[in-house]
């Protein structure tokens, strides 16, 4: 997988890749609400969000790795959230805010190197930023502030593992397969 950005501006091909990623993940995100809802209907409810969040943040890092342009991660996540919303998501317009909250830290992982590299290291940084920033959001949005410290630590670790696996390892493998197939 190439680590450098060969062109600086967005090409038609980049927009097409962004649309495909966003539409694909928008549908996946909507379907993924079923496992979340099933977990939330059990005594494991406090863990439902953190166990499942890794899938909900995949579009941003994948768009960044595939398109290799500034803004791709944020746009990928926000557009995927928009698609999910239009598929009658149970969260409605809140999807747009979530898309931004999830996409901005995905973008940060590549911003720290000034968009000069698109490596595993940048992807790892994205997973760290996504874990921290989305967790801070949930402290306020989903009432995590009411939880005891031991539960908060558990939720944070579970979130990091979920994001690390889905938005880190799986995204890297998908990007690598697409590169090997000559699609990017």
In tens, the pLDDT along 117-165 reads 899 999 999 999 999 999 999 999 999 999 999 999 999 999 999 999 9
**pLDDT score of 4 more than 70:** no
C-alpha R_g of the chain: 16
Long-range Cβ contact pairs of 134-137 (< 8 A, separation 24 or more): 134/53, 134/57, 134/101, 134/102, 134/105, 134/159, 134/163, 135/159, 137/101
Query: In the prediction, which pLDDT does 149 show?
Result: 98
Q: How far is CA 5 from CA 17, 132, 163, 179, in A?
A: 16, 27, 25, 14
Query: In the prediction, which pLDDT does 181 show?
Result: 93
Biggest CA–CA distance in the chain, Å, is 50
Mean pLDDT calculated for residue range 39-52: 96
Q: How far is CA 125 from CA 16, 50, 142, in A?
A: 26, 18, 24
- Write out the two tokens for 35: 């496992």
Query: In the prediction, which pLDDT does 1 show?
Result: 53
Instruction: Give the model's confidence band at 88: pLDDT under 50 very low, under 70 low, under 90 confident, else very high.
Output: confident
């Amino acid at each position: 997988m190439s680590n450098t950005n060969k062109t600086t501006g967005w090409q038609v091909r980049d927009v097409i890749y962004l649309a495909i990623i966003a539409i694909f993940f928008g549908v996946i995100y909507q379907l993924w609400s079923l496992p979340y809802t099933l977990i939330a209907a059990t005594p494991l409810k406090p863990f439902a969000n953190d166990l499942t969040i890794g899938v909900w943040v995949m579009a941003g890092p994948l768009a960044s790795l595939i398109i290799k342009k500034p803004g791709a991660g944020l746009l990928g996540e926000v557009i995927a959230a928009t698609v999910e919303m239009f598929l009658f998501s149970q969260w409605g317009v809140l999807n747009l805010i979530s898309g931004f909250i999830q996409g901005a830290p995905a973008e940060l992982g590549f911003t720290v190197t000034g968009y000069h590299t698109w490596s595993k290291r940048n992807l790892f940084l994205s997973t760290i930023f996504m874990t921290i920033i989305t967790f801070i959001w949930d402290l306020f949005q989903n009432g995590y502030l009411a939880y005891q410290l031991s539960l908060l630590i558990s939720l944070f670790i579970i979130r990091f593992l979920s994001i690390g696996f889905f938005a880190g390892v799986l995204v890297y493998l998908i990007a690598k397969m697409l590169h090997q197939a000559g699609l990017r």
